[in-house]
A and B are shown apart, each in its own frame.
Chain A
Amino acid sequence: KQEVTQIPAALSVPEGENLVLNCSFTDSAIYNLQWFRQDPGKGLTSLLLIQSSQREQTSGRLNASLDKSSGRSTLYIAASQPGDSATYLCAVKAGYALNFGKGTSLLVTP
């Protein structure tokens, strides 16, 4: 059974800092990995999708990497802003369903 772990569970940083969120998974036989953002009481917003054949994807200040062999992914956020405060979820697609981590709750303080 695919297990997805996200570290840290919570993170507080001052505005302007670069930061890294970590995601690990136990089974490397995946189709893809997707990073989401969730604001309180809201649905999930897709940030980046990395197919199993890819090593990284970039969108604006976000960069996600994938190392299938080691079962790891990182989400890099450059020059963080208070508007980045949210819960970030990593999800792995190894079959018909996404397996989610518990998320990292990020607070960016002005």
Chain B
Amino acid sequence: KAGVTQTPRYLIKTRGQQVTLSCSPISGHRSVSWYQQTPGQGLQFLFEYFSETQRNKGNFPGRFSGRQFSNSRSEMNVSTLELGDSALYLCASSFGRYDGELFFGEGSRLTVL
């Protein structure tokens, strides 16, 4: 069975631009969450989506947004990019919201110049 697929894998942007990242969860999984990984802060929770609704959001500014489609695929968007947004963005999917095992994709590596 296919795993979590994230696109693009690598991208380079300049400050002030915006970026959209995509995540296709494992078939049948309805919960999708996003995490940011940086060397300094480690892994930090960004959002959780379930049934096309954002259920929770981490402590990130409003420049970070996302959505989930009816097929459970999710996108996240970062507007007005800053140098500090350079990170590995990881998407995870699970069958249930609370006690299910999370499966992660390979991530999207964003570099902001």
A residues sitting closer than 8 Å to B (CB atoms) are 31-32, 34, 36, 41-46, 49, 51-52, 89, 91, 93, 95-103
Q: Which residues of B contact A31 (CB under 8 A)?
A: 98-99
B102 sits at the interface (CB 8 A): yes
Q: Is the CB of B101 within 8 A of A49?
A: yes
- How many B residues, CB 8 Å from partner? 24
Which residues of B59-111 have CB atoms within 8 Å of chain A's CB atoms? 90, 92, 97-99, 101-107, 109
10 A-B pairs with the lowest CB-CB distances in the bound complex, closest first = A97-B45, A44-B104, A100-B43, A43-B106, A96-B56, A49-B101, A43-B104, A31-B99, A43-B107, A31-B98
Inter-chain CA distance A45–B103, complex, in Å, is 7
B residues sitting closer than 8 Å to A (CB atoms) are 4, 6, 33, 35, 42-43, 45, 48, 55-56, 58, 90, 92, 97-99, 101-107, 109
